[in-house]
């Protein structure tokens, strides 16, 4: 399952505490500044791709946090940006080690 979240710069410190949970060591979310992803938001976009049960546990933890799960068109746009970034990285690695 894939999902994306947003949190603002002002919430970065409290989110680091949430993300210190062992669950996130297993999921290993990808976090980028939204502007770096081409998204006009001042904060961070977090992408998670893991088994459904792990993402469900993460959602429960994140429900108590200042982050917001992004759904609909906005969520799909950010998912697409993360996927394209991953594909570009894989293509680069293929070229490097190909």
For 70, the enclosing helix (H) or strand (E) is strand 68-70
Of all residues in the chain, what percent carry a pLDDT higher than 70?
Answer: 93
CATH architecture of 2-97: 2-Layer Sandwich (3.30)
Q: Between 90 and 5, name the one with better pLDDT.
A: 5
What pLDDT does residue 26 have?
A: 95
How does pLDDT run across 17-47, given as a tens digit for each residue?
A: 999 999 999 999 999 999 988 888 899 999 9
Alpha helices in 1-98 (DSSP H): 12-19, 22-27, 52-63, 72-97
Q: What confidence tier does 79 reach under pLDDT thresholds 50, 70, 90?
A: very high
Reply yes or no on whether the pLDDT at 97 is more than 60: no
Q: Strand, helix or coil at 29?
A: coil
In the chain, where are the structural domains located? 2-97
């Amino acid at each position: 399952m894939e999902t994306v979240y947003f949190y603002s710069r002002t919430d970065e410190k409290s989110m680091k505490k949430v993300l210190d949970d062992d669950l996130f060591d297993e999921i290993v979310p990808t976090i980028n500044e939204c502007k770096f992803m081409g998204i006009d938001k001042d904060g961070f976009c977090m992408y998670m791709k893991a088994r459904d049960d792990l993402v469900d546990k993460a959602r429960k933890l994140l429900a108590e946090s200042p982050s917001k799960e992004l759904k609909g068109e906005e969520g799909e746009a950010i998912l697409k940006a993360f996927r394209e970034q991953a594909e570009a990285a894989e293509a680069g690695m293929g070229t490097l080690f190909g």
